[in-house]
């Protein structure tokens, strides 16, 4: 089965093609074709990068619309040095990462007119992502006609959160209005949970996990019986941990205080909380953990403060997830920071030494990928897992197609 995966963000689009023959293999496959489109560098232009085993391509094209760029990107699949298929009909299914599935979409679905309407409707809850996801779906319809398309929702993995974890203690009308914790990064948490169980040699249903997705956006999930029972992101991806540019949870009274000051509009607050806070806001340097570490090594005190706050919040939310689980078999680190920053892992783990959690410093320091970095006598395993969201989307498509055959 050949599966095209489209993972659209507000300013970039990652895409790849996998070919799964037979059952889903234990190890993630390498894509046959990978493309990345970036719209951010120069207005009116898009940069396209395509990689295959046979060849690579890099080009900058004028782009008035996402659709034009998608058309060119799809063209590189069937033509030129990056060709991997001769015609679009060789693709069996297209899988889309859709950020928000609301309360109705608790698992992946075949995209119909109703599903498209729901994705459009939920754009009010995910304004930077759901419209981009929908444009991707429409572009495939326009250029490739009737190839089956599947939506894989980032919220779905968290859709069985117990009410006590999902419902905010505001007025009851919020519940009726759908104002609740949805959680995000679900595709990554789901992949890491299954991968962790495999690395541990245990059944997913029998392990209690905390998965720490620490990238530009950061979230934790408490996973029991293979399901998310608590998570740090909430109604929006702004809740919970301190992130690259996002504040994470702050006292809501601060917002009331700021809004009472006449020069603070809703748009300004949105910008401050989503773009000018977190590592960047506190350090004044960057949202990138590499640059924060560099600045700390040069004695920059604001970078040190940003690091300290990040670690404090990470530890305290791990503690919260621990309480929701009532115990822990493995702590899992993933995404850009989680996979590449030994000091963050060490600082997070240090706080849980009282549980008998012991990190193997050697293993932690040496670029671990998909391994256990706890000591043999540690009471809790600690894993570093390279997240593979696109592969998980491909697997979801495979499972759904197989089920409906
Ligand atoms: P996204 O959340 O956008 O998918 P990633 O998971 O790729 O992002 O994480 C991006 C972040 O990961 C960067 O901003 C940077 O802080 C961090 N990062 C990436 N590589 C490294 C590295 N080698 N060392 C430390 N931090 C890294």
Is 104 found in the same domain as 16?
Answer: yes
Is 359 found in the same domain as 215?
Answer: yes
Is 242 found in the same domain as 346?
Answer: yes
Residue 330: closest CA among 190, 232, 224, 216? 224
Residue with the bigger pLDDT between 63 and 234: it is 234
Is 313 found in the same domain as 371?
Answer: yes
Bridge-based pairing of strands 381-384 and 330-334 is parallel
Token digits for 12? 């970039």
In this prediction, residue 140 has a pLDDT band, given cuts at 50, 70 and 90, of: very high
In this prediction, residue 204 has a pLDDT band, given cuts at 50, 70 and 90, of: very high
Q: Give me the mean pLDDT over the 176-182 stretch.
A: 96
For the ranges 5-14, 129-138, 274-283, 382-391, the lowest mean pLDDT is seen at 5-14
**Catalytic residue status for 288:** no
Whether the CB of 289 sits within 6 Å of ligand 1: yes
For the ranges 155-164, 242-251, 260-269, the lowest mean pLDDT is seen at 260-269
Domain presence at residue 73: yes
pLDDT, mean over the chain: 95
Q: From 40, 188, 216, give the residue whose CB has the most ligand 1 atoms within 8 Å, as the site to mutate.
A: 216
Ligand 1 center to 337 CA (angstroms):
5
Is 229 found in the same domain as 84?
Answer: no
* Alpha-carbon distances, residue 91 vs 2, 8, 70, 74, 85 (angstroms): 5, 19, 16, 11, 8
In this prediction, residue 405 has a pLDDT band, given cuts at 50, 70 and 90, of: confident
Q: Give me the mean pLDDT over the 377-384 stretch.
A: 98
For 354, list phi and psi in degrees, rounded to 5: -65, -20
Residue 224: closest CA among 238, 206, 240, 247? 206
* Alpha-carbon distances, residue 373 vs 75, 94, 200, 352 (angstroms): 43, 36, 12, 15
Is 268 found in the same domain as 119?
Answer: no
Q: What is the CATH number of the domain that holds 61?
A: 3.30.420.40
Atom of ligand 1 nearest to the CA of 244: 14
* Alpha-carbon distances, residue 102 vs 150, 151, 236 (angstroms): 16, 13, 11
Instruction: Report the percentage of the chain scoring pLDDT > 70.
Output: 99
Q: From 13, 285, 289, 389, give the residue whose CB has the most ligand 1 atoms within 8 Å, as the site to mutate.
A: 289
Q: Give me the mean pLDDT over the 295-302 stretch.
A: 98
Domain presence at residue 315: yes
Whether the CB of 288 sits within 6 Å of ligand 1: yes
CB-CB contact of 268 with 195 (8 Å): no
Q: Could you read off the pLDDT of 14-45 as tens digits, one per residue?
A: 999 999 999 999 999 999 999 999 876 677 88
Given this model, what pLDDT does residue 66 score? 80
Whether the CB of 187 sits within 6 Å of ligand 1: no
Given this model, what pLDDT does residue 41 score? 67
Given this model, what pLDDT does residue 401 score? 94
Looking at 154, 370, 372, 390, which residue is catalytic? Answer: 154
Domain presence at residue 65: yes
Is 367 found in the same domain as 235?
Answer: yes
3-state secondary structure of 358: coil
Domain presence at residue 403: no
341 is in which domain, residue-wise? 203-384
CB-CB contact of 177 with 107 (8 Å): no
Measured at the CA of 103, the angle between CA 98 and CA 109, to 5 degrees, comes to: 45
pTM: 0.95
Q: Give me the mean pLDDT over the 290-311 stretch.
A: 98
Count of the separate structural domains present in the chain: 2
Q: Give me the mean pLDDT over the 171-197 stretch.
A: 97
Examine the pLDDT at 59 and tell me if it is beyond 80: yes
């Amino acid at each position: 089965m050949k599966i095209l995966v489209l993972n659209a963000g507000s300013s970039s689009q990652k895409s790849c093609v996998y070919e799964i023959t037979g059952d889903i293999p234990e190890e993630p496959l390498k894509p046959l074709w990978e493309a990345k489109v970036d719209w951010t560098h120069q207005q009116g232009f898009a940069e396209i990068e395509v990689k295959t085993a046979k060849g690579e391509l890099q080009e900058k094209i004028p782009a008035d619309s996402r659709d034009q760029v998608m058309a060119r990107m799809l063209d590189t699949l069937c033509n030129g040095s990056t060709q991997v298929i001769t015609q679009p009909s060789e693709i069996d299914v297209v899988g889309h990462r859709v950020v928000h599935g609301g309360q109705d979409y608790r698992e992946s679905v075949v995209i119909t007119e109703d599903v498209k309407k729901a994705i459009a409707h939920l754009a009010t809850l995910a304004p930077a992502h759901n419209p981009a996801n929908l444009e991707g779906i429409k572009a495939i319809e326009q250029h490739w006609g009737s190839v089956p398309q599947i939506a894989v929702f980032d919220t779905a993995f968290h859709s069985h959160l117990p009410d006590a974890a999902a419902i905010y203690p505001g007025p009851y009308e919020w519940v009726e209005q759908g104002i609740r914790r949805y959680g995000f990064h679900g595709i990554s948490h789901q992949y890491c949970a299954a991968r962790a169980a495999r690395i541990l040699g245990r059944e997913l249903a029998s392990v209690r996990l905390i998965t720490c997705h620490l990238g530009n956006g950061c979230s934790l999930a408490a996973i029991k019986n293979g399901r998310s029972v608590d998570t740090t992101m909430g109604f929006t991806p702004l809740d919970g941990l301190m992130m690259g540019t996002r504040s994470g949870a702050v006292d809501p009274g601060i917002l009331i205080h700021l809004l009472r000051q006449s020069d603070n509009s809703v748009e300004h607050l949105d910008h401050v909380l989503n773009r000018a806070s977190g590592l960047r806001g506190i350090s004044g340097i960057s949202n990138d953990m590499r640059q924060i570490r560099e600045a700390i090594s040069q004695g920059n005190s604001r970078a040190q403060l940003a690091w300290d706050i990040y670690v404090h919040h990470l530890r305290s939310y791990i503690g919260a997830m621990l309480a929701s689980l009532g115990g822990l078999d493995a702590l899992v680190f993933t995404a850009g920071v989680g996979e590449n920053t030994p000091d963050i892992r060490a600082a997070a783990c240090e706080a849980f030494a009282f549980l008998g959690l012991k990190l193997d410093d050697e293993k932690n320091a040496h670029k671990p990928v998909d391994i256990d970095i706890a000591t043999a006598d540690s009471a809790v395993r600690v894993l570093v897992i390279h997240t593979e969201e696109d592969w998980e989307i491909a697997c979801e498509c495979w499972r759904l197609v197989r089920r409906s055959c």
